[in-house]
Amino acid sequence: MPHAIPEGALLRRADLLEWFAAHRRELPWRADRDPYRVWISEAMLQQTRVEAARDHFERFVRALPTVRDLAAASEDEVLALWSGLGYYSRARKLREAAQVIVCEHGGAFPRELASALALPGVGPYTAGAVLSIAHGEPVPLVDGNVERVLCRWFGWTGNPKQGALKRALWDAAARLVEGLPDPGAWNQAVMELGALVCTPRTPRCDDCPLAPDCVARATGRTAELPELPRRREAILVELEIALCRKPGAWLLERRPAGGRMAGLHEFPTRELAVREGEERLYPARFASSTLRVEGEVGAVRHTITHHKIEARALTADAGPLEPDGPLRWVPDAELESLGLTGMTRKVLRADFARALC
Ligand code: SF4
């Protein structure tokens, strides 16, 4: 059996659970096991660091404390609360799923795996997290932390993101979560170990409860496992951003309804150099609008997934606007409640933009 769980792993679970009880971080979504809060936090934590998610989570659940509040919220309100976390389709799907939960499940996150997986935007990881942590069901989950811990603990080679090893990791996670009184604590314990001890670059094996039977440690292969696919090469994107100011308002543009960052607002932006074969991140709209560019006032750097953005900020005169076009004057008081791109928030905080107010 190439991917059998070693004997002794099931017995070792007690040590990891004990470690978790002593070392778990106090996080706002761990204050209780309310399925709604668990679900929102898990949706935020995919691709986002705990520290970045913490403030967003508190703001989100303060504004929309229940699944019914989320279902009734406008898309703009949800996008505004999500602003800065990226992956905005996730925020849209959360709202759609909340509507399904209210209409089809009486406002309660389903307990059955198949019903949870049928919700928009809910995949095996999120379903496993909510069902195990909030409902106490023995449902497995695998994320990057779990992949790393299990591959090292068992000495498993191969790409954990696909094929036989991916299936083996889910099978192992299912086997390990079985028969425990608190499956949610187990799932969180493995993820917490990956976040705090079995870290990607410098695992602290001397402090690890799995160390006595960890294959990677015993064979000196902690640096080699897991065998992750190479990251995509970074792509440099050069932009110009138009800052048009009139007393008390900025000129912003709403992004098109489909595609990246759909429906969010941003400063009119144009992409200067696009490599052949690469999709544009930004519509080239302001080149054809009535904006008249004046002088350069500053620059910002920003990253979106593997795109490294360098943007020059230019002041500009707006000229007459199309009545139903994507450009509109947004009063300062409205900015907080509007879905803005992360880069737009960054520019608004920059000294050069504040100097124009
Ligand atoms: S002993 Fe080291 S490599 Fe093995 S699971 Fe623990 S921290 Fe990770």
- The pLDDT assigned to 47 comes to 74
Q: For ligand 1, atom 2, name the residue with the nearest CA.
A: 205
pLDDT for residue 274 is more than 70: no
Closest CA to 40 of 86, 94, 85, 78: 94
- The pLDDT assigned to 273 comes to 67
Ligand 1 atom with the shortest distance to the CA of 225:
3
Across 282-302, average pLDDT: 79
The catalytic residues are 42
Report residue 278's pLDDT band, with 50, 70 and 90 as the boundaries: low
Report residue 101's pLDDT band, with 50, 70 and 90 as the boundaries: very high
The pTM (predicted TM-score) of the whole model is: 0.81
Domains of the chain, start order: 9-218 (1.10.340.30), 235-354 (3.90.79.10)
Across 4-19, average pLDDT: 93
- The pLDDT assigned to 192 comes to 97
State the CB neighbour count (10 A cutoff) for residue 39.
Answer: 27
Q: Is 208 in the pocket of ligand 1 (CB under 6 A)?
A: yes
Q: Which residue has the higher pLDDT, 83 or 252?
A: 252
How far the first Cα of the chain sits from its last, in Å, is 67
Q: Where are the alpha helices (DSSP H) in the chain?
A: 9-23, 35-45, 50-63, 67-72, 75-82, 88-104, 113-117, 124-129, 144-154, 163-177, 183-196, 215-218, 285-288, 342-349, 351-354
Ligand 1 atom with the shortest distance to the CA of 205:
2
Euclidean distance between CA atoms 143 and 193, whole angstroms = 12
Q: Is 189 in the pocket of ligand 1 (CB under 6 A)?
A: no
Cβ-contact 27, 178 below 8 angstroms? no
- The pLDDT assigned to 85 comes to 86
For residue 332, the 8-state DSSP code is: G
**CB burial readout 329-348, b (16+ within 10 A) else e:** ebeeeebeebbbbbbbebbb
Ligand 1 atom with the shortest distance to the CA of 149:
5
Q: Tokens representing 140?
A: 């497995």
- The pLDDT assigned to 275 comes to 62
pLDDT for residue 287 is more than 60: no
* Rg of the chain, C-alpha, whole Å: 23
φ, ψ at 145 (rounded to 5°)? -65, -45
Euclidean distance between CA atoms 208 and 187, whole angstroms = 16
- The pLDDT assigned to 155 comes to 96
